[in-house]
Amino acid sequence: MSDLRVRFAPSPTGYLHIGGARTALFNYLLAQKEKGTFVLRIEDTDVARSTQESVDAILQAMDWLGLSYDEGPFYQSDRFDLYKEKVQQLLDEGKAYRCYCTAEELEAKREAALKSGGKPKYDGTCRDRQDVPEGQPYVVRFRSPEEGVTEFNDRIKGKISFQNNELDDVIIQRTDGTPTYNFVVVVDDATMNITLVLRGDDHINNTPRQILMYQALGYSVPEFGHVPMILGADKSRLSKRHGATSVMAYKEMGYLPEAMVNYLVRLGWSFGDEEIFSLAELIEKFSLENVGRSAGVFNPDKLLWLNAHYIKTGDPVRLGQLLQEFLQKDGIDTAAGPELTAVVKTLQDRAKTLVEMAQGAAFYFKPEVEFEPAAVEKFLTADKRPVLESVMRHLDSIDVWNETTIEAAFGAVMEETGLKLGKIGPSVRVALVGGTTSPGIFDVLAVLGKEASLKRLQTALARLG
Ligand code: GLU
């Protein structure tokens, strides 16, 4: 075990987003690589927007991606007493103060500041207020230093400094008594002994405020690393306009978790010009030094390409289990059909997603061939009777049914009819499958088995009239 302690701290206000998943992955990989500890913390202080459904969705997505954590999930909603105590500590030490300014007053101050060209920052009206207005609602603000500089050495972006006078006196406790993000994140990261806060760079402006709070609370300050955002093709922040942004939506669309992991890691991290990484390789090779400083652009084509790669090279037994779910969703009963593993093997080279594979596999399992009229019109014409009969006869005489014996049977058909395979194959395919696209017909015949194959050919022959 090393001393490294990292965390992923999602807010359960929706599904696990591509960007969040990448942050989780980077933390996971770093912890694995350095034999540190990966903590999961659910940031549910915003009670109105947090839901159990979102918590479940996030946990499920992490599980699907294989991002296991060593500690947690911890819930901020279980820790309100601790936060209260820490707010009180800052109040007692004069490092925070009660602010009684009303929303209207604050809005008026903001407008006035903007008008005079200043920053719309809290003007400090209540900073040194001594009276305690009875029954009046208040927030608690952190007393930010008026001078000096707060800086940190970002593990990804290098040295970053902020002038303290640019920083607002942030609200750490709302009028309803609930603490705010910037405060609880500090209390949690400190009390959970996080040594490196690795998160999206949308939080970079929060970091100096948080550092000041660590100091005010007497905690040691962790290291920080801010991972650049993910953008859409038009270089605006990745959003639904660019396609699905939920990790689990990709599962539904027939993506494999290893493709998603491989894709996510390359959005911002590189290792020479290598593209394909298993999780084990990533654990060995990942480092923050190779995380880029500029934003990654989400490229759905590349994700699809990786998915096709993992389908092509995947274990057919496992793919068969996954495929079954997709077939079931399409209402297809696989119980009576051929072996799923054998079916998968005929489709691995062709299907880019499990959804495509399920579409391509459906014909194996449907009790009746669904004929496409155009294919029938072209390839199941009356003049095909002699050749289909010849095919049936030679297939029927096979004892040991496999691709080699099937190929030999077609050799005999070609000899008998004087036709090339290109003239025979398409009709056989339409007879077996109903349409003109499918895996190679020898494969299809081998997988369907002798009885089902002959039955399909027989049905097609009957249609010839
Ligand atoms: N809960 C915050 C979010 O989901 C993360 C905060 C952090 O990583 O510090 O954006």
Cβ–Cβ < 8 Å for 7, 39: yes
| Domain total of the chain | 4
Distance between alpha carbon 132 and the CA centroid of its chain, in Å?
50
Residues 87 and 216 in one domain: yes
Domain boundary among 178, 197, 227: 227
Residues 221 and 145 in one domain: yes
Average pLDDT for residues 92-114, to the nearest whole number? 92
Distance 264 CA to ligand 1 centre (A): 18
**Tens digits of residue pLDDT in 158-185:** 999 999 999 999 999 999 999 999 999 9
Cβ–Cβ < 8 Å for 377, 436: no
Q: Given a cut of 90, is residue 114 above it in pLDDT?
A: no
**C-beta 10 within 6 A of ligand 1:** yes
For residue 43, the ligand 1 atom closest to its alpha carbon is: 1
**C-beta 172 within 6 A of ligand 1:** no
Residues 323 and 290 in one domain: no
Average pLDDT for residues 190-206, to the nearest whole number? 97
Residue 308 lies in a domain: no
Position 465 scores a pLDDT of 63
**C-beta 43 within 6 A of ligand 1:** yes
Cα end-to-end distance, the chain, whole Å: 76
For 44, the domain range is 5-77+231-303
Mutate to test the pocket of ligand 1, among 6, 154, 197, 203 (most ligand atoms within 8 A of CB): 203
Residues 351 and 325 in one domain: yes
CATH number at residue 429: 1.10.10.350
Residues 202 and 162 in one domain: yes
300 pLDDT tier (thresholds 50, 70, 90): very high
Short-list 320, 464, 338, CA closest to 401: 338
Q: Given a cut of 80, is residue 1 above it in pLDDT?
A: no
Distance 194 CA to ligand 1 centre (A): 14
Q: Given a cut of 90, is residue 264 above it in pLDDT?
A: yes
Residues 248 and 383 in one domain: no
Position 172 scores a pLDDT of 97
Q: Given a cut of 70, is residue 17 above it in pLDDT?
A: yes
Residues 244 and 265 in one domain: yes
**C-beta 11 within 6 A of ligand 1:** yes
**C-beta 352 within 6 A of ligand 1:** no
Distance 203 CA to ligand 1 centre (A): 8
Q: Given a cut of 80, is residue 293 above it in pLDDT?
A: yes
CATH number at residue 26: 3.40.50.620
Residue 138 lies in a domain: yes
Residues 33 and 119 in one domain: no
Distance 11 CA to ligand 1 centre (A): 6
Residue 214 lies in a domain: yes
Residues 283 and 260 in one domain: yes
Residues 73 and 83 in one domain: no
List the catalytic residues.
240
Residue 20 lies in a domain: yes
Cβ–Cβ < 8 Å for 192, 41: yes
HSE of 348, CA atoms in CB hemisphere, 13 A:
20
Residue 309 lies in a domain: no
Residues 197 and 262 in one domain: no
Q: Which residues pair with 182 in a beta bridge?
A: none
Residues 354 and 427 in one domain: no
Average pLDDT for residues 323-343, to the nearest whole number? 96
Residue 287 lies in a domain: yes
